[in-house]
Amino acid sequence: MPVDRATKQAWLIWSTAVVVYLAALFHRTSLGVAGLEAADRFDVGPAALGTFTVLQIGLYAMMQIPTGLLVDRFGPRRVLTAAALLMGVGQLMFALASSYPLGLAARAVLGVGDAMTWVSVLRLAAAHFPPRRFTVVMSLSAALGGAGNLVATLPLTLLLQNAGWTATFLIAGAATALYSGIVAWRVREVPDGVPQPPADAVPLRTVAKRVAVAWRVPGTRLGFWVHFASMSTPALLGLLWGFPYLVEAQGMSRPDASAVLSLLVVVGIVAGPITGAVMAGRPEWRMPIVGWYLAAALVCWAVLLGWPGGVLPPALLYVVFGVLAVGGPASGVAFALVRDYNPLHRVSTATGVANVGGFAAITFTALAVGVLLDLVDGLPAAQAYRIAFLAVVSVLVLGVWRTAVWWRRARAAVFAAEERGERVPVQLRRRRWDVLAEA
């Protein structure tokens, strides 16, 4: 690491960059409360509506590894500048789109810009802050990015109702595009006095090899499945299907549904820094935090799908959504694992690999929920969503299983390294299941 302490310049650069991430979260989740308006504007059903999110998040997932390579090659300042410009242009296109194909094209541009933000912010944090601060800064970045989610709930709902579709998204798009100039002006790749690292121009023939090397690291593989299992459920509800579910299946008013969705964000904002501080001080607690969250998430989904009649009391919905919201902060464990178990020159690529996990899960579940809702069209809304959300539970169960498998394997790799006399980033204590696995 080039620095051993955080400076005012580091915080200034980070704050400028994290605003782009905040904007990315706003644009990404804006369809979560505008989904019903989008269905009316483009005259589409649930499956076609889900395609908006599938396209945007699918592109996000596919762009993670290329983004890591772009950051290594051109630096986070240029990549973040391009990200803000693309997101702004995409949202301007979405504001003016009057047909379904044009709307899809706009979300595609938005998805590409969105995909370039998080890896760039993490790379800046790795360059400007000492290792002991990285986890805290990462968690704080995610929490502040959640403010974009918050703006995309009740405030966006009210703005859509009063200003209309076109004006709302024109304002959001223009502000983001103009902010790209501030990013280009204020962000720097490395602190003053630190030599600029040479550009890492990776030939295409070596890209697959670099990704494969990162994938073979047990910590990277564990990070992938942690992100897959933890992040997908709250993101799916916030991005698209939470709002229609609350309005159509639970009979809530739009402001009340927005309030429940905002809880996903508020809990994430509060829990993020707390989780980050705990992970920084007690890194051995990282995976137990994930394990407890995944167990709680399974219980929450059992309540949502098994409640008699399908319509839950509002207070219980707040509790369930609040618990599921912890998945966002818990998914940050994935990036801490990647940072610890990969050399710095490979962190951006490995971060992209891990980041694919959650967004691959969202891509599948967003489409599957829409397709299932189309197939059960005609059933009562509560029953239809029960059936459609089985896809979400199936993905969650898969993620829990693979997380458990790679948690054990990653622990075995750490113990083996210790026996060889190598330095390991986290000291672990052998448990009974470790002994049984080795027997």
Q: Of 170, 181, 180, whose CA–CA distance to 90 is shortest?
A: 170
What is the rounded CA–CA span in Å between residue 320 and residue 300? 6
What is the rounded CA–CA span in Å between residue 388 and residue 372? 5
Residues in the chain, total: 439
pLDDT of residue 427: 66
pLDDT of residue 300: 95
What is the rounded CA–CA span in Å between residue 186 and residue 192? 13
**Between the ranges 33-47, 127-141, 312-326, where is the mean pLDDT highest?**
312-326
**Residue 400: pLDDT band with limits 50, 70, 90:** very high
pLDDT of residue 90: 93
Segment 346-397, tens digit of pLDDT: 777 788 888 888 888 988 888 888 889 888 888 888 899 999 999 999 999 9
pTM over 0.95: no
pLDDT of residue 229: 94
What is the rounded CA–CA span in Å between residue 341 and residue 322? 31
- Which two three-digit tokens encode residue 64? 């993670």
pLDDT of residue 75: 84
List Cβ neighbours of 270 (8 Å cut-off, separation of 6 or more).
143
Residue type, 172: A
pLDDT of residue 346: 75
Q: Parse the chain into domains and list their residue ranges.
A: 8-193+209-438
Q: Tell me the DSSP string of 208-248.
A: HHHHHHHHHSHHHHHHHHHHHHHHHHHHHIIIIIHHHIIII
Which residues, in sequence order, are bridge partners of residue 379? Answer: 377
> Worst-scoring range by mean pLDDT, 221-225, 255-259, 411-415?
411-415
pLDDT of residue 1: 46
> In a 3-state reduction of DSSP, which class is residue 71?
helix
What is the rounded CA–CA span in Å between residue 265 and residue 146? 6
> Worst-scoring range by mean pLDDT, 73-82, 141-150, 306-315?
141-150
On average, the pLDDT of the chain sits at 83
pLDDT of residue 193: 62
**Residue 318: pLDDT band with limits 50, 70, 90:** very high
Taking residues 411-417, what's their average pLDDT? 77
> Worst-scoring range by mean pLDDT, 93-102, 227-236, 255-264?
255-264
* 11 vs 349 pLDDT, higher one: 11
DSSP 152: T
Quick check: 68 and 120 in contact, CB under 8 A?
A: no
Quick check: 24 and 87 in contact, CB under 8 A?
A: yes
Segment 255-303, tens digit of pLDDT: 888 888 888 878 877 887 788 778 777 777 888 899 999 999 999 999 9
User: What CATH topology corresponds to 8-193+209-438?
Assistant: Growth Hormone; Chain: A; (1.20.1250)
* 97 vs 238 pLDDT, higher one: 97
pLDDT of residue 439: 46
* 177 vs 272 pLDDT, higher one: 177
